[in-house]
Structure 1
Amino acid sequence: MKYITGNWKSNKTTAEGLRWLEQFAGIWHPGKDLSVVIAPPMVSIESLAAEAKHLRLEHFFFAAQDLSPFPRGSYTGAVAADLLKGVVQYAIVGHNERRRYFQENVQDALNKAAEAVDAGIVPLVCVADVAEVSRLSSLADLNGRVMLAYTPTDPAVSGIPESAEKITGMVTRMKRAVPGAIILYGGAVTGKNAAALLAVEGVDGLFVGKASLDPANFAAVCAAAA
């Protein structure tokens, strides 16, 4: 099974997201061995999930871009994992942008991952460098599936993906830290380089940023996986 996850970040209104879904549905040909996941802004998820069901998109799922490290309760502005149950199947935690702009740390990501698993949601934990890998071992103790995404920061600046050698080295470390985890690579992924990145040993899928905003480009990434 391969996995392609698109992170829209803080882009697209609900109306724009609905148009994206319609366009994607018209050009995408689902494969039984490929799961496609989209992470729209939180405000749009329920509307887009309903539309995806109406369009009968197969093997197509949704992810939250973030969630609360706390359960339901008096946490103004936070969205507890339990509130997302039944709407999303995945949740991104520990993205380097959350760390850079919101001063979150590795422990915050681990707490969010635990909340996600308790709610039956698969956490997609982002890892930017080797130093973070050693903190991942506690994820192996969670009673649920875990997905890891190697998301180095340099490709976001240069527009050039990491070398296959570097990706393989990190993937090997991540698999040792969390046996059985699904491993994605994210960093300057496009429809043109997706096939080569998917061919890197140990990579189970791709974590797509900018390229996921265009339905045709994202469909090309999915086609490379299918």
Structure 2
Amino acid sequence: MLEDAFVTRKLIAGNWKMNGSLEANEALLRAVLAGLPAEPAADVAVCVPAPYLAQVQALCQGGPVAWGAQDVSAHERGAFTGEVSAAMLRDFGCRYVIVGHSERRQYHGETDEVVAAKAQRALAAGITPIVCVGETEAQRDAGETELVVKRQLAAVIHALGHCVGEIVVAYEPVWAIGTGRTATPEQAQAVHAVLRAQLRAAVAGQRRVRILYGGSMNAGNAAALLAQPDIDGGLIGGASLKADEFLRIVAAAG
């Protein structure tokens, strides 16, 4: 297939969630940077709480670790107290921003349309959105996994049109986030294949869109998951807060 000619390097992106401190961040990043070769075999990034973007930018500037944010406003600017715009993230050199994480959808009521608007804002500012999709345990048990993830991704495809080829997608089964449960490599691959087909139909002839797996990937299961043909990396939660474990995941992606 034409798309296979455009396979890209794997991406391992840490999602620190609402964790960190100035002291802990510096220790973690210095350990990660010290443990990485100058040119890792996979792309590496960390998505951090907004107050720490300046610190992470200073520590990672010029090195092999890119950085990003965990959310972005759907609005360009204005009277939206507490929101952070894409332009502001760009000022801090962000390469990536997570949009549509299940915790944002669940706790902040973000709809598919809001997630798509955030992806638009990110791309307009030159930032790559990592668009999260995933089903709950109840939806999986009801046989609705494919329906749910395709609906979530379809909203972004509709909003972005041909620009959807510039995003990263992360499949995060909600039932596996922060629970210690992980989809089997076969379960994860099945959903990634569905998303791949949907993306291929939308961006035919363009480069391969990276699809990450993000449900409790860790040093113990990373190699098996990353060996699947449609898994292009990982969006790493808890394991990204431990330098040695994060480095082992990066090594597994090489």
Q: TM-score, normalised by structure 1?
A: 0.92
1:133 is aligned to 150
- Whether the 8 Å CA contact 2:96–2:130 is kept in 1: the answer is yes
Residues 167-192 of structure 1: per-residue CA shift (max 9 Å, x gap): 12211221222233210001111111
- Whether the 8 Å CA contact 2:218–2:239 is kept in 1: the answer is yes
- Paired with 1:210 and 1:135, the residues of 2 have a C-alpha distance of 24
- Paired with 2:134 and 2:45, the residues of 1 have a C-alpha distance of 21
Q: Which amino acid aligns with 1:9?
A: K
CA drift of 1:16 comes to: 1.5
1:111 is aligned to 117
- Whether the 8 Å CA contact 1:8–1:210 is kept in 2: the answer is yes
- Whether the 8 Å CA contact 1:185–1:207 is kept in 2: the answer is yes
Gaps of 5+ in 1: none
How many pairs are equivalent? 223
CA drift of 1:217 comes to: 0.8
- Paired with 1:115 and 1:213, the residues of 2 have a C-alpha distance of 28
2:229 is aligned to 201
1:155 is aligned to 176
- Whether the 8 Å CA contact 2:98–2:132 is kept in 1: the answer is yes
- Paired with 1:218 and 1:33, the residues of 2 have a C-alpha distance of 14
Give the share of equivalent positions with the same residue, in percent: 32
- Paired with 1:62 and 1:22, the residues of 2 have a C-alpha distance of 14
CA drift of 1:85 comes to: 1.2
- Whether the 8 Å CA contact 1:41–1:65 is kept in 2: the answer is yes
- Whether the 8 Å CA contact 1:134–1:177 is kept in 2: the answer is no
- Paired with 2:179 and 2:51, the residues of 1 have a C-alpha distance of 31
Could you say what secondary structure the match of 1:85 adopts?
helix
Q: Which amino acid aligns with 1:66?
A: D
CA drift of 1:159 comes to: 1.5
1:17 is the counterpart of 2:25: yes
| Pairwise CA RMSD | 1.7
1:61 is the counterpart of 2:66: yes
1:77 is the counterpart of 2:82: yes
Could you say what secondary structure the match of 1:148 adopts?
strand
Gaps of 5+ in 2: 1-8, 136-145, 201-207
Greater CA deviation, 177-186 or 138-147?
A: 138-147
- CA distance change for structure 1 residues 20 and 158 in 2, over 3 Å: closer, same or farther? closer
- CA distance change for structure 1 residues 48 and 157 in 2, over 3 Å: closer, same or farther? closer
- CA distance change for structure 1 residues 76 and 38 in 2, over 3 Å: closer, same or farther? same
Q: TM-score, normalised by structure 2?
A: 0.82
